Structure 1
Amino acid sequence: MENTPVIVSPEDAPFPLTEVDKWVLSLTDEEFKYHDWEDLKKIIAENNLSVLKRKPSDLRRYMGWTAETKAKYGSMTNYLLIHRLPKTWGSPPFTPSSKTPFDDPSDYCVLINDWPYGLTTDITHIVVWSRTIIETDPETGDMTPGSRRTVEDFVKKFFADRLGPDGGSRVLWFKNWVALQSVRSLEHIHVMVKDVEQDVLNEWTKELECHRLRN
């Protein structure tokens, strides 16, 4: 049947599985412990991103969907360019309006993550895609101090300030090290927000005029 999920064994995973992923696949959903806000704060503060995990059934579905998508589109990048990212971006290598990440709204796109980590229900997982390169350290694969400051400033202005005086305590963000990225050819950061109303999420993720192709 067309809607039957593709089952992929760990040995045939369409992206590198971490040791945490392999352990999660041995669990049932009932045995899985969701990441809550305090857990996320600790993981991100320690930059211990490899322990972030999806619910077992979601991870299996994500593996199957990724395998199916790569077979149909050739790559995850092609799928995202066709279905999720602004048509005005064209294809990589992109030509951003600004060399500074998140400086120009035409250079970034805010979307709810289609495949979030296993989070408690009060947390929303957002991905901000960028056609401007976010500089990383070639030796560690992690962000440079300068690029980290740039992203911190953007996240504060775009997300935290919108939520009012307590916004800073309701927003977390990280950028996966290169080795942990499942979509390596497209720049993106992850933003976690707590107790945010749907109308605010809609405002953040609405399509911008600068992202529309003109006839």
Structure 2
Amino acid sequence: MASRGTTKISFWNVNVPSSRHTADCPDFLEYALENEKDRGILATPDAQYHRQTWQEVRQFILDNRLDLFQRVPSDLRRYREYNAKLTREYGSVMQFVMQERLGWEDQEAKAAPFKDPGDIKILYNDWPYGFAERIIHLVIWTKFDLVSDPATDDLTPQARREIDDFVDETIVRKCGEENVIWFKNWSSLKSIHAVEHFHVMLFEPDMEFVKQITGGDVPLAEKIKSDGEASS
């Protein structure tokens, strides 16, 4: 529960205009009744949310504390609500990503990892974590496997080297090593399991370069916001 003055507000009504408050938890947020982390985030007013700095982001990744990443509370709500809509309309979020974001009819790799550009797509993260606004959050999608060790749920040394080499050649050479860091989510933290991908963070990059490597992509969260403003 969050408090506004002396009034208790259910976590699902925080960051929502009072005219839209509901007595019952919406279906798309019912999972948070059993998820303490997300329930705490959703119960936090946006004005009280601390955006994670570049130094924090780097340290979390270096310490393998990916569980500390979180979204701005209102973004988390929008993310869950929209994913529920995509599941209704496309059958799953994965189907939406394959059809609308990647434009891939299949996931059959044409070559060894990172050898064929057609097996790779660089896009914005549609629902980025709540980082400082100078941090750009990209996702690199691949048709080939990014092999993990089942015992550790971490990438094998060879897979890590392959990703390092690709990121160095594609991004670090332009942005500088100190301004780029990547990670691959643990299986337990993945929101989309069936399409391989890893995350790349850039600090204050040249936005023309970002436009070039993403093909002028716009994250879904921004498209939805723009569409809402255009229709209001």
TM-score tier after normalising by the smaller chain length = 0.7 to 0.9
Root-mean-square deviation over aligned CA pairs: 2.1
Instruction: Count matched residues.
Output: 193
Deviations 1:104-123 (A, max 9, x none): 21110000111000011110
1:189 counterpart residue number: 198
Give 1:9 shift. Answer: 5.1
SS in 2 for 1:119: coil
Give 1:10 shift. Answer: 3.4
Partners in 2 of 1:169 and 1:152 — Cα distance?
14
1:34 counterpart residue number: 51
Using structure 1 for the length normalisation, give the TM-score.
Answer: 0.83
Is 1:58 the counterpart of 2:104? The answer is: no
2:110 maps to a residue whose letter is S
2:112 counterpart residue number: 99
SS in 1 for 2:181: strand
- Moved >6 Å (runs of 4+): none
**Structure 2 CA distance for partners of 1:138 and 1:19, relative to 1, 3 Å:** farther
Is 1:71 the counterpart of 2:84? The answer is: no
1:111 counterpart residue number: 123
Give 1:25 shift. Answer: 1.3
Gaps of 5+ in 1: 208-215
Question: Does structure 1 retain, via aligned residues, the 8 Å contact 2:140–2:200?
Answer: yes
**Structure 2 CA distance for partners of 1:11 and 1:128, relative to 1, 3 Å:** same
2:38 counterpart residue number: 21
Partners in 1 of 2:195 and 2:28 — Cα distance?
26
2:230 counterpart residue number: none
SS in 2 for 1:134: coil
* Larger RCO (CA within 8 A; separation ≥ 6): 1
Question: Does structure 2 retain, via aligned residues, the 8 Å contact 1:126–1:190?
Answer: yes
2:103 paired residue among 86, 94, 109: 86
2:134 counterpart residue number: 122
Report the identity percentage: 34
2:61 counterpart residue number: 44
Give 1:19 shift. Answer: 4.2
**Structure 2 CA distance for partners of 1:18 and 1:199, relative to 1, 3 Å:** farther
Structure in which a larger fraction of residues adopt helix: 2
2:208 counterpart residue number: 199
